[in-house]
Structure 1
Amino acid sequence: LKATVVVNSTPCSVTCGLGVKQEQLCEVSPAGEHRNCSLVRSRCLSDWICGLRHLSVPEGKPLQLTCLSPDAASLEGPNFGYTWKFAQGLITTNDLLFHPFRNPSRSLSFSPALESHSGTYRCDVQVLSSFQLVKRIYFGLRVIPSDLVDLDFQKSLTWEQQLAANGEEVPANATGPPEHRKGFWEKQWFYEVVLGIGSGVIVGIVFSLGLCCL
């Protein structure tokens, strides 16, 4: 008798939702030998909540939002359904503020993007046969009016929001960017030195006055 087992596997291609991984399958003989190995690609599922992704685009430019990669969608397996919702004019993850948005596809295209398209789009990906939710992602879209110039959306975000928008983790107990925290500690060190010198001078004066009075 021979059994087929996974002897090696790559990490999932995504950190949330449905992705793709490559596995090495081998037949294992009763003696434990690996034979007839092959590489196969399969779907993988990590945390189904993908959070909020910030986007900005100038008015008049085309834009496409995609809630499932072509690789994951094209692999053999169960079929998926896509449900879109929209919170117009708001950047939010509060599900009570969303309204149904008719679009049965995994992608949502704007040709071109208009200022009225600004808001948050939520996409849910479900397995049609079981209704299992395998991914939820929010797209916070800001369409910049064409008459505005020198508008940098990233600069309008806090440091923590910039990290989240780039998919980075906010360090624990962090209170701002490293350069800001460095400046704070440098200032605090300076104040401590000044305070120490001032205290020493005052003690010296008091000691001198005490000697004069003896």
Structure 2
Amino acid sequence: MAALKVSEECHVRTVKCMESWQCGLRTMTVMSGQRVEIDCLGEVMEAMGKFSWRVLWRFARGIISSDDSLFARWEAPQLDKVILDPVREEDAGTYRCDVQDANFRRVKRVYWGIRVLPAGVLNLDYESSLAQWESPGNQQNKTVSDQHDHRTALLHMVLISLSLAGVGFGLMLGLYWKVKRN
């Protein structure tokens, strides 16, 4: 491999998504009520420095796709990032961010596909579900544990009652046989 030659006017920089300006589709699954933050400009500024940037957002409601015909212009309150706090089910879809330089050349395009599950639904992704299930204060886990405790207590009560009834029946039967023999 040839050695890189760097002049005083040019500098070598490592930039994510070098193969093209389109950085792909990133997806996340969140629970309704959580906080979601999508940062579009941070990565560009980290790689290229603080210049004049133009950020444009588009949104495809309810679908995760990179098909540009599905996107409508979307106004983000903060230009460089989207904060959904709390995220709602109707926020689900794909958010597209285009970053342009001062000459209106596209520097970066990223898609974020966001799935929003209703509160109380267990995510079927094993790692995510396990973390959610084991988290302190998880109402689903608490409810199932409480139900299990109630069922166990009820089972013990039934078994004790049956045992006492069996002992009582045995005593009555023994007494009956004793009286019948005499």
CA contact (8 A) 1:121 1:140 kept: yes
> Which of these residues, 55, 62, 66, is aligned with residue 82 of structure 1?
55
- Map 1:52-71 → 2, pairs under 5 A: 52-69=25-42
| Cα distance in 2 for residues equivalent to 1:114 and 1:55 | 14
Equivalent residue of 1:109, what SS? strand
Seq. identity, % = 32
| Cα distance in 1 for residues equivalent to 2:17 and 2:66 | 19
- Map 1:83-98 → 2, pairs under 5 A: 83-98=56-71
Higher relative contact order (CA 8 A, sep 6+): 2
Matched letter for residue 93 of structure 2: G
Matched letter for residue 16 of structure 2: V
The equivalent residue for 2:85 is 111
| Cα distance in 1 for residues equivalent to 2:71 and 2:122 | 30
4+ residue stretches of structure 1 with deviation over 6 A? Answer: none
CA drift at 1:68: 2.0
CA drift at 1:14: 1.5
Matched letter for residue 112 of structure 1: P
The equivalent residue for 1:5 is 7
| Cα distance in 1 for residues equivalent to 2:110 and 2:127 | 20
> Which of these residues, 74, 94, 99, is aligned with residue 125 of structure 1?
99
- Map 1:22-41 → 2, pairs under 5 A: none
Equivalent residue of 1:72, what SS? helix
More strand by share: 1
CA drift at 1:101: 0.4
CA drift at 1:15: 2.8
Q: What TM-score comes out, normalization by structure 2 length?
A: 0.57
| Cα distance in 1 for residues equivalent to 2:23 and 2:70 | 18
Equivalent residue of 1:82, what SS? strand
5+ unaligned residues in a row in structure 2: which ranges?
1-5, 129-182
More helix by share: 2
> Which of these residues, 124, 149, 154, is aligned with residue 122 of structure 2?
149
Instruction: Provide, for residues 130-180 of structure 1, a one-character-per-residue CA deviation record: whole Å limited to 9, x for no partner.
Output: 11000001000001111212432889xxxxxxxxxxxxxxxxxxxxxxxxx
| Cα distance in 2 for residues equivalent to 1:13 and 1:132 | 16
Equivalent residue of 1:147, what SS? coil
5+ unaligned residues in a row in structure 1: which ranges?
17-45, 156-214
Aligned residues: 120
Pair 1:150–1:65, CA change in 2 (3 A): closer
* CA RMSD in angstroms, aligned pairs only: 2.8
| Cα distance in 2 for residues equivalent to 1:116 and 1:90 | 11
Equivalent residue of 1:15, what SS? coil
> Which of these residues, 20, 43, 58, is aligned with residue 47 of structure 1?
20
Q: What TM-score comes out, normalization by structure 1 length?
A: 0.49
